[in-house]
Amino acid sequence: MKRNFVAVCLISICVFICACTLATSQSNQTTELPKRDKDNNSQLNNNSQLNKNAQANSFDNLVAENVKSVFFESIDDRCEEAGIKTLRKTALGKDNFEIRVWVGFGLTKLEGFLLNQVNDKWSATHIDADFSSKKFLNRNIKLNEPKSGWQNALQKLIDNDILTLPSAESINCSAMYNDGMSYVVEIKKGNKYRTYMYDNPWADFENKCAEADKMLNIGKIISDEFGLVEFDLTKRPK
């Protein structure tokens, strides 16, 4: 009887030890998973911050460039119709920026794309116009987040030199058409401002340059990311 009691005690002790060992093993496994998740999140945050810093630094060397005043007149009139300030007169904080891309400047109504970041908040607007009742009705349409995300979309534009392209006229890359579809780009960060234009970069003309193709890429990125087909001139009949 005594031996049976001792045996039962030993068995109970063994079961208790095994249970503790199993619980410890499971506990170790569950504490490792959050650590890996935390490391991954930290890496993603670091990559996002590096990307953001690279974009911010890209704006630091904006070089002023002049375009013909006739284009400014069209843009100023369009801004007045849309009830917004011209970018040249818009006050921005030193870490805030705005990019405006205008397409038209022929017989069609001028359309605008506005992308900005103010106090780390992103927004984009389409300056559009519908023809109704024999007149144009202006619309300022707030756009959704781009397909690839704000920072990725901006990076695509930067990779195609949206901040640094020279004006077509300064590199003898103008089509010199009386009509058609042209681009004007305006950029401002803090009090630094620059602008440039490309006259009908979609056309086949004698002095067409690689920079004109980059301007077309910029228009296509805006179209693909924000659904603004009017800005993609790559498929325009030549």
pLDDT over 80 (residue 38): no
With CA atoms as reference, report the closest residue to 233 among 171, 187, 182, 178: 182
pLDDT over 90 (residue 228): yes
Residue whose entry in the numeric block shows the structure tokens 């999140």? 41
pLDDT over 90 (residue 150): yes
Q: How far apart are CA 145 and CA 226, in angstroms?
A: 8
Is 116 in contact with 122 (CB distance < 8 Å)? yes
Q: Write the pLDDT tens digit of every residue in 133-147.
A: 555 667 899 999 999
pTM score, whole prediction: 0.75
Per-residue tokens: 158? 């930067």
Lowest mean pLDDT among 103-107, 180-184, 233-237: 233-237
